[in-house]
Structure 1
Amino acid sequence: MTVQPPIPFAPQIPEQVSFDRRELGMILSLYGRMVACGEWRDYGLSCLREIAVFSVFRRTAEHPLYRIEKRPRLRGKQGMYAVVGMDGQILRRGHELDVVLRVLERKLIRPVD
């Protein structure tokens, strides 16, 4: 009986992509501020094989207002983080999550009456 040795340096294919603790902290901080303003009411989190998605809803039964996506395959290209609008348009894409989330933080700035 021959035992084959493991293949050295075999690339590990992840079972699923997910947000790490730091990333979720940034996203949930923004989410909490938007809930406090009354803009957002619910969220959904999907961790799939090639993408992790944090979806933001105004009401539970609606389509998401925004999707915050993490696609590690795009790390070397446009950046693995993106904010996608309700119509599917990419509002911002980049390599740093905090920079990408700034497009949503602008929604917090309102003129005072």
Structure 2
Amino acid sequence: MTVQSPTPLPPRREPDEKVAFDRGELGHLLTLYGRMVAIGEWRDYGMSFLRDVAIFSVFRRTAEHPLYRIEKRPKLRLRQGQYAVIGMDGQILKRGNDLRAVLRVLERKLIRSVE
């Protein structure tokens, strides 16, 4: 008598992991956002968490294209840097591995607005 083993289960697939900002990164982003809202430059933000990229978008008005996108792409960590600030026209304004240093390109606009 031959005993048949049950049919093997298909391998378990891990749910697609998504890239996200950690608590410290969100703190830096929201601090800058709050300062820009206080001077009237920005009014809304949105976040997207995808498989390859996390995006923090800032808007002057809710119903328009984002003024800036701050992207985190961990796969570029060893190349150009995992963080990038991208303008409305798609131009990369700053790229690097230190989020605070990358956000300085937007803080310069904060200084000009206050003067």
Alignment TM class, shorter chain as reference:
0.7 to 0.9
1:108 aligns with 2:110: yes
| Residue deviations 1:58-112 (CA, integer Å, cap 9, x gap) | 0000000000000000000000000000000000000100000000000111364
Task: Tell me how far apart the structure 1 counterparts of residues 15 and 26 of structure 2 sit (CA, whole Å).
Answer: 22
Q: Which residue of 2 aligns with 1:60?
A: 62
Q: Which residue of 2 aligns with 1:22?
A: 24
TM-score calculated relative to the size of structure 1: 0.86
For residue 14 of structure 1, report the CA deviation from its aligned partner.
5.9
Task: Tell me how far apart the structure 2 counterparts of residues 47 and 72 of structure 1 sit (CA, whole Å).
Answer: 12
The answer for unaligned runs of 5 or more in structure 2 is 6-13
Task: Tell me how far apart the structure 1 counterparts of residues 51 and 61 of structure 2 sit (CA, whole Å).
Answer: 27
TM-score calculated relative to the size of structure 2: 0.85
Kindly provide the amino acid, as one letter, of the partner of residue 58 in structure 2.
V
Q: Which residue of 2 aligns with 1:49?
A: 51
The answer for unaligned runs of 5 or more in structure 1 is 2-11
Q: 1:92 to 1:47 in 2, by over 3 A?
A: same
Q: Which residue of 2 aligns with 1:92?
A: 94
Task: Tell me how far apart the structure 1 counterparts of residues 107 and 61 of structure 2 sit (CA, whole Å).
Answer: 20
Task: Tell me how far apart the structure 1 counterparts of residues 83 and 94 of structure 2 sit (CA, whole Å).
Answer: 8
Q: 1:14 to 1:96 in 2, by over 3 A?
A: farther
Kindly provide the amino acid, as one letter, of the partner of residue 107 in structure 1.
K
Q: Which residue of 1 aligns with 2:77?
A: 75
SS of alignment partner, residue 44 of structure 1:
strand
Q: Which has the larger radius of gyration?
A: 2
Q: Which residue of 2 aligns with 1:4?
A: none
Count of residue correspondences:
104
For residue 13 of structure 1, report the CA deviation from its aligned partner.
8.9
Task: Tell me how far apart the structure 2 counterparts of residues 49 and 100 of structure 1 sit (CA, whole Å).
Answer: 22
